[in-house]
């Protein structure tokens, strides 16, 4: 599956824009011809007079179409070079909107299944909970993972066959127990705990197979004060496809393990948000 080219794939082609404008022009011309035919009938103009008018109409339509096409091309060329226009194409899009922009990047059989309504797109949130007790480097998804409520909803750290996931957001949350006996992360209130310095000062990275999905970045990107979005959420400026039957490997690397007074059995939860293909 080829990478998306924002200039060529997201920005509409000249042919697409011209086609839309010509369709609008045809509608305008049809409305005008209908009005003129009614006027002809009212005025009692004969076939000879109508023939002359039709010739004039065809000439007028040709001039309008040529003029409109020139204006479209001027606007298109200006817009295609505009950073503001290209940025505006993807600004504030939902995950579903990002998926639709990149639908043509899917394998042909998946595209056809979506078109034929044999498959659909659904909201998706893949998560895994991992203990980080006495650890500084953690693979947040592993081949040994099995689906279990409170632990993960993904088997073997891979998407099932025919499932394609457009990753648009990553959420990283932290929690710990209230005592040494409180050691089941499924009981923890993720999202309610502030990051300890060990996580804030650590790094996060993610690969799909051997391909880099997100290079090593500061974990501080998850710990911001934007109240308009979910806590501890990082929105990808460049959404990425996750493909079936390939290892999804997010990693947390900290300068040292999490420790502190009244910090028992620390754990983290990673949630991958986006849009995924599913059987209809």
Which pLDDT tens digit goes with each residue over 205-223?
999 999 999 999 999 999 8
Q: How confident is the model at residue 7 (pLDDT cuts 50, 70, 90)?
A: very low
The DSSP 8-state label assigned to residue 247 in this structure reads -
What SS3 class is residue 169?
strand
Which of 6-20, 57-71, 134-148, 186-200 is predicted with the least confidence, judged by mean pLDDT?
6-20
Average pLDDT over residues 236-243: 93
Q: Which two tokens stand for residue 173?
A: 């949350």
Contact in structure between 177 and 265 (CB atoms under 8 Å): yes
Most confident range (mean pLDDT) of 39-48, 91-100, 255-264 is 255-264
Cα-Cα-Cα-Cα torsion 79, 82, 83, 84, nearest 10 degrees, comes to -70
Residues 256 and 136: their CA atoms lie apart, in Å, by 5
Residue 74, pLDDT > 90, answer: no
For the question of whether the overall pTM of this predicted structure is more than 0.75, the answer is: no
* Model pLDDT for residues 153-201, shown as the tens digit of each residue: 999 999 999 999 999 999 999 999 999 999 999 999 999 999 999 999 9
Residues 170 and 172: their CA atoms lie apart, in Å, by 7
Residues 112 and 118: their CA atoms lie apart, in Å, by 8
Average pLDDT over residues 228-255: 93
For 41, half-sphere exposure in the C-beta direction (CA atoms, 13 angstrom radius) is 6
Residue indicated by tokens 């957001």:
169
Task: For the chain, give the mean pLDDT.
Answer: 85
Task: Return the pLDDT at 38.
Answer: 75
Task: Return the pLDDT at 5.
Answer: 46
Q: How confident is the model at residue 6 (pLDDT cuts 50, 70, 90)?
A: very low
Q: Which two tokens stand for residue 141?
A: 């998804």
Per-state percent for the chain, helix, strand, coil, to nearest 5? 40, 30, 35
Residue 252, pLDDT > 90, answer: yes
* Model pLDDT for residues 124-166, shown as the tens digit of each residue: 999 999 999 999 999 999 999 999 999 999 999 999 999 999 9
* Residue scoring higher pLDDT (178 or 52): 178
Residue 221 CB-density burial (10 A; 0-12 exposed, 13-18 middle, 19+ buried): middle
The fraction of the chain above a pLDDT of 70, given in percent, is 84
């Amino acid at each position: 599956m080829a990478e998306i080219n924002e200039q060529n794939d997201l920005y509409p082609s000249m042919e697409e824009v011209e086609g839309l404008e010509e369709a609008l022009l045809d509608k305008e011309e049809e409305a005008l011809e209908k009005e003129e035919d009614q006027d002809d009938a009212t005025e009692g103009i004969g076939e000879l007079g109508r023939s002359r008018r039709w010739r004039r109409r065809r000439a007028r339509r040709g001039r309008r179409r040529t003029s409109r096409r020139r204006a479209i091309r001027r606007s298109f060329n200006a817009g295609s070079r505009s950073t503001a226009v290209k940025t505006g194409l993807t600004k504030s899009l939902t995950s579903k909107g990002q998926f639709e922009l990149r639908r043509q990047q899917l394998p042909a059989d998946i595209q056809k299944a979506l078109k034929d309504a044999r498959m659909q797109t659904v909201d998706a949130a893949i998560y895994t909970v991992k203990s980080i007790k006495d650890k500084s480097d953690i693979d947040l998804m592993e081949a040994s993972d099995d689906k279990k409520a409170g632990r993960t909803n993904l088997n073997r750290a891979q998407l099932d066959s025919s499932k394609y996931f457009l990753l648009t957001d990553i959420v990283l949350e932290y929690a710990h127990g209230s005592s040494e006996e409180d050691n089941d992360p499924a009981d923890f209130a993720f999202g309610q705990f502030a990051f300890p310095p060990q996580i804030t000062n650590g790094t996060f990275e993610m690969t799909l197979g051997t391909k880099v999905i997100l290079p090593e970045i500061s974990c501080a990107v998850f710990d911001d004060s934007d109240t308009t979005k979910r806590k501890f959420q990082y929105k990808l400026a460049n959404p990425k496809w996750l493909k079936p039957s390939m290892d999804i490997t997010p990693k947390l690397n900290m300068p040292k393990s999490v420790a502190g007074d009244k910090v028992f059995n620390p754990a983290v939860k990673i949630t991958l948000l986006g849009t995924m293909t599913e059987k209809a």
